[in-house]
A and B are shown apart, each in its own frame.
Chain A
Amino acid sequence: MDTRRRIFGSLLIVCLGAGCAGEPAPSGVPHRALFTSDPPADPAYREELTYLQRVAGFPEADARRIRDRVALAATALSMPQALLWCVLFQESRLDRLKNARNARNAKGIGQFTAVALDELNRDTALYDARTPAFLREQVGDESTIQFILPTEPRAPVPRASYYRLETGVASTAAYLNNRYHHLARTLGRRDLAHDPQVLWLLAAMAYNKGPRSVNVFLHRLGRLKGDDRVRAVLHDPSELVAVLSDAKLMHRIYFYFWEKPIRDPYVEEMGANMRAIARCALEPEGGP
């Protein structure tokens, strides 16, 4: 174990020197921006978005409001705009009322459960001290965010409702931001060097399947494939996607964590989800 720590310690020193832990790159070497400035990056998703707007009746005004709110939240919480937009797109296809009127647990634009709202209402300062004030700006001082819809069809959605577009985007941003800060602290505790942009992708994974799934992933990957592979995953999104798409390895990683009936669909979903997020949010290879 000490050897492992020493290796990670040395890697950290090497990485910090090379600017790979999020520090500015050495002069003359631009830090590569992984995220696109205009999501979705993938042409197929662009077509789908056009279809949603022109054929399926998704209002263009709502699409603009979502982009504005994503930009606002991303600036307030220092997160990649493209990632937040793509998480919303992946979770609900930007449908703020998804599952609002059925019994499914995951609801709204970011597919939240009541437990996720609970974190934002009670515990969000534990992760990032900026989020309580950010959320208060969206919902007001006294309100807690809830799944509520007006009884009258044409009445406005209450400000504190997760189904309100602005509140839904802000809540999703805050929750994603919480996952990022949890992971950053976890890696910091172990002196694990990482590219913060890749960490945002892992935050999206934690958003979808819980931070424990990411912690188990990194720990077991190190055990099974060595620390170099962990380091590669923390610096290279294509390596991350490759590992998440390797079903055999993923089954080994999660063997002790999930029983087989759950492991089968979850492993498949994790790979598919990360591939979709990467296609949507990342600048294509060879892009700017």
Chain B
Amino acid sequence: MKPRTRRIVVAAYAVTFVVLVSLPWWSAELSGRWQTEPGGVSAEEARVLEGFVAAARRGGLAELEAEVARFAAGAGSGSGDLHPDLQLYFVPARLEPDSTEREFYQRELKPAQDALRELIPTGASEETTAAFTRMRSRVLNYELGAGGEERGLSAGARAFLSSHRAAMGE
């Protein structure tokens, strides 16, 4: 190898080494933005959630389900960048394989949601209200704990409860 080529190779190795060594520092620096950006759902995700509630108001449960299906079809097949709220409350089939939320979904949320959805088409009744109350209680306990304030509810949980309330005709 010519001396000039050797110098280029050594320099390339040195630059690669420096970049690799400084990666954690860059990562830490870039992570500072987490402290200043608003977080939660993005503006686009918020619009999607509002769309679900609006669909439930327009056409009840059927329209809500159609809107969610349209969104799910347009959002690709993997969990990808789908917000955790959207995964848990609206497109649970896309919960990530290692998600810690599966237990809550399968054991608590889904049975309560299925019970309510069976009752909604029968119209307003004490049973429908009780089914909604049970589902709401599970969501609030899951998200807030024993003494949490409702302002701590995630945007997804709020949209989930509002859309079902709207589907009940309230």
Interface residues, chain A, with chain B CB atoms under 8 Å away = 1, 4-5, 91, 105-106, 110-113, 115-116, 118-119, 122-123, 126, 172, 175, 179, 182, 185-186, 189-190, 206-216, 218-219, 222, 248, 251-252, 254-260, 262-263, 266
Known: A119-B137, A209-B152, A263-B39. 18 other contacts (CB 8 A): A1-B98, A91-B146, A106-B149, A110-B146, A116-B147, A190-B98, A208-B147, A210-B141, A211-B104, A211-B141, A211-B145, A212-B142, A212-B154, A216-B84, A219-B100, A219-B101, A222-B98, A248-B34
Closest CB in chain A relative to B157 CB, distance in Å: 9
B149's nearest neighbour on chain A, judged by CB, is A105
Bound-complex Cα distance A63 to B118 (A): 49
A254's nearest neighbour on chain B, judged by CB, is B39
Contact A251 B137 (CB under 8 A): no
B102's nearest neighbour on chain A, judged by CB, is A189
Residues in chain A near residue B142, CB distance under 8 A: 210-212
Contact B99 A256 (CB under 8 A): no
Chain B 35-61 against A: per-residue CB contact (8 Å), 1 yes, 0 no? 111111100000000000000000000
Contact B98 A255 (CB under 8 A): no
Chain B CB within 10 Å, residue with most, of A116, A209, A257, A260: A257
Size of the B side of the interface (Cβ < 8 Å), in residues, is: 42
B140 within 8 A of A: yes
| Contact of A118 with B137 at beta-carbon distance under 8 Å, contacts A209-B148, A219-B99, A219-B100 already known | yes
Residues in chain B near residue A210, CB distance under 8 A: 141-145, 148, 152
Bound-complex Cα distance A252 to B107 (A): 28
| Contact of A190 with B39 at beta-carbon distance under 8 Å, contacts A111-B147, A210-B143 already known | no
Residues in chain B near residue A1, CB distance under 8 A: 96-98
Contact B103 A186 (CB under 8 A): yes
B94 within 8 A of A: no
Residues in chain B near residue A186, CB distance under 8 A: 100, 102-104
Contact B100 A255 (CB under 8 A): no
Which secondary structure dominates chain B's binding surface? helix
Contact of A212 among B41, B104, B107, B155 (CB under 8 A): B104
Bound-complex Cα distance A61 to B69 (A): 60
Closest CB in chain B relative to A259 CB, distance in Å: 4
B5 within 8 A of A: no
Contact A113 B146 (CB under 8 A): yes
Contact A212 B134 (CB under 8 A): no
Residues in chain A near residue B35, CB distance under 8 A: 248, 251
Bound-complex Cα distance A186 to B105 (A): 11
Closest CB in chain A relative to B28 CB, distance in Å: 8
Residues in chain A near residue B36, CB distance under 8 A: 260
B108 within 8 A of A: yes
Contact of A262 among B107, B138, B140, B152 (CB under 8 A): B152
Bound-complex Cα distance A189 to B41 (A): 27
Contact A206 B145 (CB under 8 A): yes
Residues in chain A near residue B98, CB distance under 8 A: 1, 4-5, 190, 219, 222
Contact B99 A182 (CB under 8 A): no
Residues in chain B near residue A175, CB distance under 8 A: 146
Bound-complex Cα distance A126 to B135 (A): 13
Contact A209 B145 (CB under 8 A): yes
Contact A257 B137 (CB under 8 A): no
Residues in chain B near residue A189, CB distance under 8 A: 102-103
Residues in chain A near residue B100, CB distance under 8 A: 186, 190, 214-216, 218-219
Residues in chain A near residue B7, CB distance under 8 A: none
Closest CB in chain B relative to A250 CB, distance in Å: 10
Residues in chain A near residue B34, CB distance under 8 A: 248, 251-252, 255
B110 within 8 A of A: no
Chain B 146-167 against A: per-residue CB contact (8 Å), 1 yes, 0 no? 1111011011000000000000
A92's nearest neighbour on chain B, judged by CB, is B147
